[in-house]
């Protein structure tokens, strides 16, 4: 559930954030800013999920914030940065925003505990509450290609057709893990599995290791499904036939959370330490978010905006006490369109298998979109173990296109990690290396 995003972070992770991630305000070259942040009023301290709405603005949900008449509210921000609020019906609490094919903005109402209820905000300003059969609240919502709205509760998944007909399936999907797939079917993610559903009720189950349980599930522009798995600290690409490829985040501990498809075809994500982008070929770019003194700053959700930029919600929580509630929120805008496109740092290892002799040296070539310094690192990983051990490191000077690193003395398969950085961007790529005698 969205309300548990911050609460689930451990004290150990908080300590890592204190020691590692207190970046300065994002610096950028002259010209259009890469990142802009808009501080929200104190009445909007809990900005959570965000979506680009048909009215040309971005709407975001609020967790446990009450309006002037005791109502929960939605936040709304225009591409120009104008912020306003929209009061929800009494007792309502909006989650899982989705844009329907009818041009309306839909929400699952988690505050309505007596039955599933959906909230519909029409393009013409009309509002509608749709109460469905059942006795537990709705937790997730997604639009289907045929115009239907699919929803889930903790005990079932349902389909609300355009004509109002509701079909229920005995399948429970967790909040945020319901999406329209590239094959026209609906897909749901749960602990240890991903399930394909069609309008007739036919299902196909894809079993997963428990450490790959999806946190956020989306359809990518490359015709595959993408999901985050915090337990393995990775992002996973899965075809509609079940073939998987894992992309592990390049720094640890670091847990990916919400995902979004971008206009450039890449996948953007929030994670424990900031905001990130992964190309469909696996290269990562990580971004610092503007810091606030004596506060943790978390990126909660990200989406592609109507202006071609990526928009995200930020939540501020004081360092002390550890159980402190958020006392500030902001909306961020990260723009790599137009002239800013050349400012995106991406690093890519040269294609082809990497091999070398035990105890010898390995020369690794790479490409970057901008001159940047960093390091080439050899690490050892073990199946089922989240941590890795660094074995060798070579410094990379800004502008270099290759580096030589010492290989371990013991034969086996290791991982070479390329880590570059410029301003407040970090670019990463990795590949396996086979070490022989």
Same domain, 298 and 384: no
Please tell me whether the peptide bond between 253 and the residue prior to it is cis, using omega within 30 degrees of 0: yes
| Contact call for residues 152 and 132 (beta carbons, < 8 A) | no
Q: What CATH number is associated with residue 381?
A: 2.60.40.10
Q: 268, 288, 282: which is closest to 417 by C-alpha?
A: 282
Q: Does the pLDDT of residue 329 top 50, yes or no?
A: yes
Say what the pLDDT of residue 253 is. Answer: 67
Q: Does the pLDDT of residue 361 top 80, yes or no?
A: yes
Same domain, 110 and 212: yes
Same domain, 326 and 392: no
Alpha carbon distance 188, 178 (integer Å): 5
Same domain, 287 and 422: no
Q: Does the pLDDT of residue 2 top 50, yes or no?
A: no
Same domain, 315 and 352: no
Instruction: Give the confidence band of 75 by pLDDT, cuts at 50, 70, 90.
Output: very high
Q: What is the domain extent for residue 353?
A: 347-436
Q: Does the pLDDT of residue 279 top 70, yes or no?
A: yes
Of 299, 319, 343, the domain-final residue? 343
Of 343, 367, 389, the domain-final residue? 343
Extended strands (E) in 88-224 = 94-99, 105-109, 117-121, 127-131, 140-143, 149-152, 157-160, 166-169, 178-180, 186-190, 193-197, 203-207, 216-219
Query: What's the rounded mean pLDDT across residues 319-346?
Result: 83
Lowest mean pLDDT among 14-18, 292-296, 394-398: 14-18
Quickly count: other Cβ atoms within 10 Å of residue 238's Cβ: 23
Lowest mean pLDDT among 14-18, 75-79, 269-273: 14-18
pLDDT tens column, 45-67? 889 999 999 999 999 998 766 66
| Domains held by the chain: number | 2
Same domain, 125 and 187: yes
Say what the pLDDT of residue 68 is. Answer: 65
Q: What CATH number is associated with residue 332?
A: 2.130.10.10
Same domain, 284 and 161: yes
Collapse the DSSP code of 214 into the 3-class scheme (helix H, G, I; strand E, B; otherwise coil) and give the result. coil
Lowest mean pLDDT among 56-60, 134-138, 173-177, 352-356: 173-177
Query: What's the rounded mean pLDDT across residues 304-318?
Result: 91
Q: Does the pLDDT of residue 359 top 60, yes or no?
A: yes
Of 320, 343, 366, the domain-final residue? 343
Alpha carbon distance 340, 33 (integer Å): 8
Q: 50, 3, 16: which is closest to 253 by C-alpha?
A: 16
pLDDT tens column, 253-264? 688 999 999 998
Same domain, 132 and 201: yes
Same domain, 283 and 398: no
Q: Does the pLDDT of residue 135 top 90, yes or no?
A: no
Instruction: Give the confidence band of 13 by pLDDT, cuts at 50, 70, 90.
Output: very low
Same domain, 277 and 423: no
Same domain, 339 and 204: yes
Extended strands (E) in 306-411 = 310-318, 328-334, 347-349, 354-357, 361-368, 373-381, 388-396, 402-406
- How confident is the prediction for the chain on average, in pLDDT? 86
Same domain, 165 and 285: yes
Query: What's the rounded mean pLDDT across residues 333-347?
Result: 90
pLDDT tens column, 83-121? 999 889 888 999 999 999 999 999 999 888 888 899 999
| Contact call for residues 172 and 179 (beta carbons, < 8 A) | no
Please tell me whether the peptide bond between 321 and the residue prior to it is cis, using omega within 30 degrees of 0: yes
Extended strands (E) in 239-309 = 244-248, 256-261, 267-271, 274-278, 284-287, 295-304
CA torsion, ordered 169, 172, 174, 180, to nearest 10 deg:
-20
Alpha carbon distance 4, 15 (integer Å): 19
Between these two residues, 98 and 135, which has the higher pLDDT value?
98
Instruction: Give the confidence band of 71 by pLDDT, cuts at 50, 70, 90.
Output: confident
């Amino acid at each position: 559930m969205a309300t548990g995003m911050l609460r689930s972070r451990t004290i150990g992770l908080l300590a890592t954030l204190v020691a590692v991630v207190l970046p300065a305000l994002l610096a950028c070259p002259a010209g259009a800013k890469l990142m802009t942040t808009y501080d929200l009023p104190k009445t909007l301290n809990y900005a959570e999920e965000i979506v680009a709405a048909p009215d040309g603005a971005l709407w975001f949900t609020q967790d446990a914030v009450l309006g002037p008449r005791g109502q929960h509210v939605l936040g709304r921000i225009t591409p120009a940065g104008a912020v306003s609020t929209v009061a929800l019906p009494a007792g309502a609490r909006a989650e899982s925003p989705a844009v329907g094919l009818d041009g309306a903005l839909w929400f699952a109402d988690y505050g309505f505990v007596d039955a599933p209820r959906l909230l519909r905000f029409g393009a013409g300003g009309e509002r509608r509450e749709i109460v469905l059969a059942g006795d537990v609240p709705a937790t997730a919502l997604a639009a289907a290609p045929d115009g239907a709205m699919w929803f889930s509760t903790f005990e079932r998944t349902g389909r609300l057709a355009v004509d109002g007909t509701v079909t229920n399936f005995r399948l429970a999907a967790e909040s945020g893990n319901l999406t329209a797939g590239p094959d026209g079917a609906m897909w749901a993610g749960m602990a240890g599995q991903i399930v394909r559903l069609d309008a007739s009720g036919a299902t196909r189950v894809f079993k997963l290791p428990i450490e790959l349980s999806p946190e956020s599930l989306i359809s990518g522009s490359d015709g595959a499904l993408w999901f985050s798995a915090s337990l393995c600290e990775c992002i996973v690409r899965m075809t509609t036939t079940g073939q998987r490829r894992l992309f592990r985040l390049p720094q640890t501990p670091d847990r990916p959370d919400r995902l979004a498809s971008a206009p450039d075809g890449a996948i953007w994500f929030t994670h424990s330490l900031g905001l990130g982008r992964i190309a469909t070929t696996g290269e990562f770019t990580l971004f610092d978010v503007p810091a606030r003194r004596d506060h943790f700053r978390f990126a909660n959700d990200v989406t592609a905006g109507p202006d071609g930029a990526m928009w995200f919600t930020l939540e501020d929580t004081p360092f002390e006490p550890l159980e402190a509630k958020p006392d500030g929120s902001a909306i961020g805008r990260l723009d790599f369109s137009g002239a800013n496109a050349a400012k995106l740092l991406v690093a890519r290892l040269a294609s082809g298998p990497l091999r070398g002799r035990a105890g010898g040296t390995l020369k690794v070539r790479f490409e970057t979109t901008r001159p940047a310094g960093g390091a080439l690192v050899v690490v050892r990983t073990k199946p089922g173990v989240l941590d890795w051990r660094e074995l060798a490191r070579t410094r990379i000077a800004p502008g270099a296109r290759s580096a030589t690193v010492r290989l371990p003395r013991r034969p086996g398969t290791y991982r070479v990690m390329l880590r570059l950085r410029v301003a407040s961007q970090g670019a990463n790529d990795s590949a396996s290396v086979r070490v022989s005698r």
